[in-house]
Structure 1
Amino acid sequence: MVRRLRSPEGQRDPLPVYRAFQELGDVVPAPWGGHFVTGFDLADQVLRGRGWLAPDIAWQERQPDPARWHAPATREMSRTLSRLNAPEHTLQRRSLGNPFGRGALEAVRPAVEEHVRTLLDRLDRELRAHGRADFAAVVADRLPIRTVGGWLGLPERDHDRILGFTHRQVFAQELLPTRSELAVSEAATLEMRAYFSALIEHRRAHLGQDVLSDWIRFWDEQHADDRDAADQALYHLTMFVTIASLETTATLLSTVVRLLLADPARWRQLRENPRHVDDAVEEALRYDPPIWLNSRIAAEDTVLGGVPVAKDGMVHVLFGAAHHDPRRNPDPGTFDVLRRGAHLAFGGGVHYCLGAGLARLEAGALLTGLLERFPTLRSAGEGPVYAPRLVFRRITSLEVTT
């Protein structure tokens, strides 16, 4: 079933694989050890529960597979916010404050809407010149890097470079990466480290009233006598906040457009009822989440859904299967903008996605602009092209026309 999920057929339509998982139960043993969690309520319990931890460096040190867990690219990401547990996680979150609260989102909204206008102008030019355009490449991949780049003060000339090493580094975060994938990820990691280290050094020398400057002040105070420790904390924070916001949001943007264009009536109805734009975004997050899988480890011996899980045992929350649990979302295989269903796409508990509000803002602004400017937009070609992944979903191409 894992092979089917990675296959081109599984990427295009994972629902049959989700149903196959569900038929095996809410907690399904994996051949390599650990378990998949497919039921919504148990997935929610794992993501929110204090008895479930992120697979941090300390856990990795206890594992018998050095090739997997000691790979440089893997360990690099294990020092970022999503892989930390208390007290390190608590300190890093405190340094961030509430960067995407309501006030902060309203402050960044004009910039996001301007980015949308610029990118839709580009989409319009592509459509006029060629009759069709790759929505993923022209718009969806570009809005997140413009947004987070503007927020952190990343030079626009660096955007392509940042996207490049982000796409390559992500292999280290796959469920079962191959040696060749880890090698690609390691090379990207070195490039990523050099870029963000230089960025922090330059910003420290030119402190201003921007987000990154505030982080530098905080961590320099925390490690007043140890500049290397401050630099390491700043590197992992800045790197993670940047790359975590790129592929996931880009995939959400392409996915919601793909799902709406799959039935011309959906596009027309939403254009006639734009008050449901946010509902369409939430249903896309439920129906086809940008992250397919998230792993946790048991803090102590426990029982999950009647299945014993030993301390340090790993479970993999399969978001798509959980979102298609008919006990929580009736008729889950139907994409229904008015559903107002439940989803876990942004995680839960202390590791709830920091940028959830920003991703929703970007998706809502883009969808509103598309509906206004491209009333006859429709799919072109044979459908989207996907990267063969199990953790971070990615649409590499989505041809559209008018």
Structure 2
Amino acid sequence: MGDVVRAPWDAYFVTGYDTCSEVLRGRNWLAPDFAWQERQPDPERWQAAATQEMTKTLSRLNAPEHTCQRRSLGNLFDRSTIERLTPLVEEHATRLLDDLADKLRWGEADFVSIVSEQLPISTIGSWLGIPPEDHAHILEITHNQVHAQELLPTRSQLAVSAEATLQLRAYFTELVAHRRAHPGNDILTGWIHHWDAREPDRATADEILYRLTMFVTIASLETTATLLSAMVDLLLREPSRWEWLAANPGHIDAAVDEVLRYDPPIHINTRVAAEDTVLAGVPIAKDSMVHVMYGAANHDPRRNPDPDAFDIRRRGTHLTFGGGVHYCLGAALARLEARTLLTELLKRFPTLRTVAPADYASRLVFRRIVSLGVAA
């Protein structure tokens, strides 16, 4: 149908790899921020509490606000940080796979609830100092809040997201206040020092700190959990593939990238035209929404030949982590968690198999595997 296809509503789907990349990296394409939302004719959709709250986070900010907050984070997961986090991720992966082994002795087990949802919250929780006893609560409200980021959320979904948003605000505001009163040698304490020095108004600094901490946490949970679940599901669909990768661990990174290409955790991202423009030969008016289709872009045969084949030796390319100023902050951490987990799984569970298809939540934007039954 083309690289740019008119949506049933006042927007466009962008499907081709190069065209999606152009939107993600181009200065003429902006995140749908407050200024854009105020110009829309359907205020109920954009004034929902959860939508308003997410519009204050990095993913919905444009320059100069986005530039300021992003710089405060620095290169969040640079090489030295990943090196420091590696033993921690390995420790959590070992503990969770011990739990999986215990469950598998009695038969089948749900890989999602035991491993793939737990590794991201354990990792980010340790890094930010979120107490382990709070992990289940954070996971629950994250699952509920994400409805507001769907393409066309219903009124009931927005209500669920609104309640979850209130809980997220309460939790992370308290976390920042507690860390301010009890500073430590951790990343959140560093952010507090940075914003206290930069922002003379304490209330404003605390608001920024709450949003940064909340966003970094929830952005790293469902997406990484879905990557880990999809990785196991896709690799186990052919037992010979699992066996080959166990015998050829040098291809683990390539296998992770093929999972990211084949079924990205986020399928759609939205941008708006900063001015009247033409995209792939299609005139786009200022303020029009374009929905960047990550899954379609990754399956563009002009970029990845035979794109619907899952091939762990492909070494193809993908846009799963986005591009431009909004490139995913946690890309290196997600890769670390996937690589570490897959390495240990192949060593410890050579006969692992799925006993039921992956159960996906009914979503368009944020993919989520709800359960994945496995046995050994």
User: Does TM, normalized by the shorter one, top 0.5?
Assistant: yes
2:133: which partner in 1? 157
Deviation at 1:184, TM superposition (A): 0.3
2:336: which partner in 1? 361
What SS does structure 1 have at the residue aligned with 2:105?
helix
- Count of residue correspondences: 376
Aligned counterpart in structure 1 of residue 327 of structure 2, from 333, 352, 363: 352
Structure 1: gaps of 5 or more residues:
1-23
2:369: which partner in 1? 395
2:196: which partner in 1? 220
Once residues 209 and 320 of structure 1 are traced to their aligned partners in structure 2, the CA distance between those partners, rounded to angstroms, is 40
Aligned counterpart in structure 1 of residue 12 of structure 2, from 35, 42, 59: 35
2:41: which partner in 1? 64
Hey, which bits of structure 1, 4+ residues long, moved more than 4 A? none
2:116: which partner in 1? 140
Aligned AA for 1:252? L
Cα deviation digits, residues 165-211 of structure 1 (max 9, x gap): 00000000000000000000000000110000111111101112210
Deviation at 1:238, TM superposition (A): 0.4
2:321 is the alignment partner of 1:334: no
Aligned counterpart in structure 2 of residue 81 of structure 1, from 58, 63, 71: 58
Structure 2: gaps of 5 or more residues:
none
Once residues 40 and 311 of structure 1 are traced to their aligned partners in structure 2, the CA distance between those partners, rounded to angstroms, is 22
Once residues 171 and 192 of structure 1 are traced to their aligned partners in structure 2, the CA distance between those partners, rounded to angstroms, is 14
Once residues 190 and 47 of structure 1 are traced to their aligned partners in structure 2, the CA distance between those partners, rounded to angstroms, is 31
2:228 is the alignment partner of 1:253: yes
Aligned AA for 1:315? V
Cα deviation digits, residues 185-241 of structure 1 (max 9, x gap): 0000001100001111111011122100011111112211x1111111011100000
Aligned AA for 1:88? E
Cα deviation digits, residues 353-396 of structure 1 (max 9, x gap): 00000000000000000000000001102x01111011110000
Aligned counterpart in structure 1 of residue 348 of structure 2, from 373, 382, 386: 373
2:30 is the alignment partner of 1:50: no
Aligned AA for 2:159? A
Cα deviation digits, residues 115-158 of structure 1 (max 9, x gap): 000000000001002x1110011000000000000000100000
What SS does structure 2 have at the residue aligned with 1:296?
strand
2:239: which partner in 1? 264
Aligned AA for 2:187? V
Cα deviation digits, residues 39-84 of structure 1 (max 9, x gap): 0100011011111111111111111111100101001000001110
2:156 is the alignment partner of 1:184: no
1:290: which partner in 2? 265
What SS does structure 1 have at the residue aligned with 2:241?
helix
TM-score (norm 1): 0.93
Once residues 397 and 209 of structure 1 are traced to their aligned partners in structure 2, the CA distance between those partners, rounded to angstroms, is 37
Once residues 297 and 340 of structure 1 are traced to their aligned partners in structure 2, the CA distance between those partners, rounded to angstroms, is 32
2:95 is the alignment partner of 1:121: no
1:97: which partner in 2? 74
Q: Percent identity?
A: 66
